[in-house]
Amino acid sequence: MGTKRVAVITGANGGLGFAIACRLLDTIPSSVPLTIVITARHLRKVVETIGRLRAYAKGRDLLTFDYVLLDLTSVASISEVSNQLLSRYTHIDYLFCNAGGGDFTGIDWPAAFVEVLSNLKDAVTHPHFKVERIGRVSRDSLGWVFQMNVFANYFFMKQISTLLSGGGRVILISSIESRIAHDFDPEDIQLLHSDQPYVDSKKSLELLHAAIAKRWADELGVLIYITHPGICQTSIFAEYLNFLTTFGMLCLFYIARWIGSPWHVISAYKGALAPVWAAVDAVPEADPVDGVTYASASDRLGRCYVKRTEDVTDEDRKNGAILLQELDKLALNSLERIKLETA
């Protein structure tokens, strides 16, 4: 029997998060005791998710589930959940920072048709036709998308860093779409003026990783990997598609893969390959955390593999340091506000 392992998966109730849980169950031997901590905003989703995972892992005796109700748009929620985990566990082996979102409002259909007709592969890899709301603010008076996708992840990591120290692994989930992000703007760190805050937030997450990966590895013994799932089906944009457009999108994905795109893995389970590989199988000496992104990729026949890219620049590290400084200020201010509210 192996040493017990604990995995926390944010946003595990569907899409990529659920696929990560399934692939984790398929990767870690059944002889190893495993606890999967599910996070979601609503208890109903937690109950449904645990039921589905129990059915998936039927017959696995050394598997237990736990849950916490987490809202990434509330620093109070993150703080409360962190305290719950600190009281329940002495160590967390894997933290998958999967939950997040975008503030999409629809599709610019004329632009979509033009992009697909002019360069199909690029159009379904780096789309410019998704329309996003500009300037949405959270209840904590922070940029809503920025808080969910960047600050919440960092704040959560900091709050439970003692549980991760000495060998824990954090898996940050970026996106292939970060390649079309705007240049980093130190005057708009919270992305309140961006017309594509989701894409820009994923780039910010990569800048954060560039700033902290080596430091956390050296000082805390925490390995932070930045990964992305390639292009796969998730629920993040599903409300703007119907049956016909969803079918059409899938057809375009398969065509893009057949004509040479390595990123169209299509299924969420295949998209979960890189995150789970980084958590369980990556070897630090051969698979460094600093300056590298590990992504789920596929050949033309759908055979999945982990693709490594090294594209961090000196400018990225400089901007990452600026971003980190602002995140630390926000974290300190958030803790002070929580103390005042609970006093």
Annotated catalytic residue 130: no
**What does the pLDDT profile of the chain (343 residues) look like in tens digits?**
558 899 999 988 878 999 999 999 999 999 999 999 999 988 999 999 999 999 999 888 899 999 999 999 999 999 999 999 999 999 999 999 998 888 888 888 899 899 999 999 999 999 998 899 999 999 999 999 999 999 999 999 999 999 999 999 999 999 999 999 999 999 999 999 999 999 999 999 999 999 999 999 999 999 999 999 999 876 665 666 677 777 888 898 999 999 999 999 999 999 999 999 999 999 999 999 999 999 999 999 999 999 999 889 999 999 999 999 999 999 999 999 888 887 6
Single out the catalytic residue among 198, 225, 269, 294.
Answer: 198
Instruction: Spell 37-46 as b/e; 16+ CB within 10 A means b.
Output: bbbbbeeebb
- Annotated catalytic residue within 174, 178, 298, 334: 174
CB neighbourhood size of 31 (10 A): 10
DSSP per residue over 46-109, as a string? HHHHHHHHHHHTTT-TTEEEEEEE--TT-HHHHHHHHHHHHHH-S--SEEEE------EEEE-H
* Selected catalytic residue, list 45, 121, 202, 203: 202
Domains of the chain plus CATH, in order, are 5-342 (3.40.50.720)
Q: What is the value of pTM for the model shown?
A: 0.94
Per the annotation, the verdict on 305 as an active-site residue is no
- Residue 296 bears catalytic tag: no
